[in-house]
Structure 1
Amino acid sequence: MKIIITGAGGQLGYDLKRVLSPKHEVIAWDKAKLDVSQEHEVMQRIVTERPDVVVHAAAYTNVDRAESEKEAAYHVNALGALHLANACLIVGAKLVYVSTDYVFDGTKRSPYDETDTPNPLNSYGQSKLLGEKFVAMTCRRHFIVRTSWLYGQKGTNFVTKVLEKARTNATLSIVDDQFGSPTYCLDLAIFIRSLIETDHYGLYHASNQGVCSRYEFAKHILEAAGMAHISLNAVPTHAFPPAPAERPMYTAFAHKAMQSSGFARMRDWKSALDFFLQVEYYETAVKAKKVTDIW
């Protein structure tokens, strides 16, 4: 298939390229190559290329800044999705829209499945939910893939931030009252590859299996990286100054749509994290000559 990836410069885009390229023709567009907020540009590029699939991974992801830059967030996350949905409808392409756990308010206190009603607490979540709605009502051949707590080899994320702080601090304070499902970008990209090779359209929750707190996540990061000597303090969210954007406290995922459509479940979050740290992150650290600081 001919596949276009938007947001190809991001951490998920990196893994999508390496997972899809061996089997399919991949056109990778970062923000410099396609501004999804520009309707005419999107239509012209998609109609010219006439792809079989568009994987829309481009997004405005700065959760706190979105509170003061709402227009920018909505232009990318909502209108950008609408522009691509319209273009995919014209050329008959499948569209994958990558969304977020932040469409939920976190009050359920048990894993969210695809039938649960969204209620985002912040502008980022609201803009992504509107993007979902635009995609669902515009492009029949769509997959909406909600994911959570993403980390990968490229870019900055919770895993890399914990390791960076651990290099210069003997003690870290991590919140223990925010719960979710970590997701390894490589595993998500593999699932998306399986998804686009089918006609099982609809809404999916996609993350590694299991639930943990931010504190538990950080603890396993340090243990797997050979840094268990770093002291971790478990603290409540209110111990930190309030952020501009309110965060949902519990956004773990159940994966009913994946199971009912016959897709293999992604591995558990600890196994995925162990692989990432002991194989991929280790190789990156060696190349950057940081390995002695970590292992």
Structure 2
Amino acid sequence: MKKVLITGANGQLGQCLRKIAAQFKNLEFTFKNSKDLDITDALSIKKTFDLVDFDYCINCAAYTDVEQAEKTPDIAFRVNAEGVKNLAFVCKKHKVGLIHISTDYVFDGEKKEPYSIDDIPNPINEYGKSKLLGEKYIQEIMDDYCIIRTSWLYSEFGKNFYTSILNKAKAGENLSVTDEQIGCPTNANNLANYILENMLMNNVKNRVKHFTDGIATTWYGFAQSILLENSMHGKVPLVRDKNYRTFVRRPKNSVLK
């Protein structure tokens, strides 16, 4: 039986992995949240890996507050880059395959077509820069890794675009959503299944992958879909907005091929 460590277990992807873990009988899981295992603390990582001979580590730990990352980039880089470097070194030492979750924000969004794994990253904000540096550390340090870039992740867990729109709609609030960005919303439950199924097939070595649900839309279009799915379309005012109310530059095209 393969032993799998999941970091960032209280995040939405971590919770989705926990939800389906019992379906994968050949895998034994250890879930660690940020209090149990702080990836910015190299000693904490060492102690965790010394206790169990893991076969894989799925790194769901990340600093994802794009707005705050622009104000305090040192925090984002400490988690998304230096923390990932800590994990990479320990995984290499213990011969543990690292599966790391990255983002569409490593690209600048200027391309007209979907981004492939062969496109050269060029992040335009601090969050994207910190995630790209984490990718580079893994590629420089490790031989056995898989970096999975995903986009517009949502689930029933935690705060995300899906839950925010649904909660505002239920509260009767008017919704004003931008149509200036395009990307592929990705259900974290689907990503969780993809990761574990590929792991069982040993299809996770030395590569960068893109995973989304494959349907490109704007944030406005995504909001429409959320209301339709919950039988609320037409019951709550939804306004198309040309502006994205943020001081952070964001890629206009986030579609991953």
Q: Indicate the TM-score class for this superposition, using the shorter chain for normalisation.
A: over 0.9
Quote the residue 1:16 is aligned against.
17
The one-letter amino acid paired with 1:11 is: Q
The answer on 1:231 being equivalent to 2:237 is: yes
TM score, norm. by length of structure 1: 0.82
TM score, norm. by length of structure 2: 0.94
Separation in 2 of the partners of 1:222 and 1:153?
15
Separation in 2 of the partners of 1:66 and 1:51?
32
1:106-255 to structure 2, matched below 5 A, reads 106-169=109-172, 171-197=174-200, 198-201=202-205, 202-229=207-234, 230-237=236-243, 240=245, 243-254=246-257
- Partner-residue secondary structure (3-state), 1:189: helix
Change in 2 beyond 3 A, CA 1:72/1:170: closer
Quote the residue 2:33 is aligned against.
30
Structure 1 stretch 60-69 or stretch 164-173: which is displaced more?
A: 164-173
- Partner-residue secondary structure (3-state), 1:237: coil
Structure having the higher helix fraction is 1
RMSD: 1.3
Change in 2 beyond 3 A, CA 1:178/1:139: same
Quote the residue 1:57 is aligned against.
60
Cα drift, residue 147 of structure 1:
0.6
- Partner-residue secondary structure (3-state), 1:27: strand
Separation in 1 of the partners of 2:204 and 2:147?
11
Cα drift, residue 237 of structure 1:
2.0
Query: Could you tell me whether the CA contact under 8 Å between 1:19 and 1:193 is conserved in 2?
Result: no
Quote the residue 1:268 is aligned against.
none
Quote the residue 1:41 is aligned against.
44
Structure 1 stretch 51-60 or stretch 191-200: which is displaced more?
A: 191-200
Query: Could you tell me whether the CA contact under 8 Å between 1:94 and 1:196 is conserved in 2?
Result: no
Separation in 2 of the partners of 1:167 and 1:18?
26
Query: Could you tell me whether the CA contact under 8 Å between 2:178 and 2:220 is conserved in 1?
Result: yes
Separation in 2 of the partners of 1:144 and 1:174?
31
Identity of aligned residues (%): 36
The one-letter amino acid paired with 2:5 is: I
Query: Could you tell me whether the CA contact under 8 Å between 2:63 and 2:76 is conserved in 1?
Result: yes
Change in 2 beyond 3 A, CA 1:107/1:92: same
Separation in 1 of the partners of 2:140 and 2:175?
45
Separation in 1 of the partners of 2:53 and 2:70?
36
Query: Could you tell me whether the CA contact under 8 Å between 2:99 and 2:204 is conserved in 1?
Result: no
Structure 1, unaligned runs of 5 or more: 255-295
Cα drift, residue 190 of structure 1:
0.5
1:79-118 to structure 2, matched below 5 A, reads 79-118=82-121
Separation in 2 of the partners of 1:89 and 1:41?
16
- Partner-residue secondary structure (3-state), 1:156: coil
Separation in 1 of the partners of 2:232 and 2:46?
49
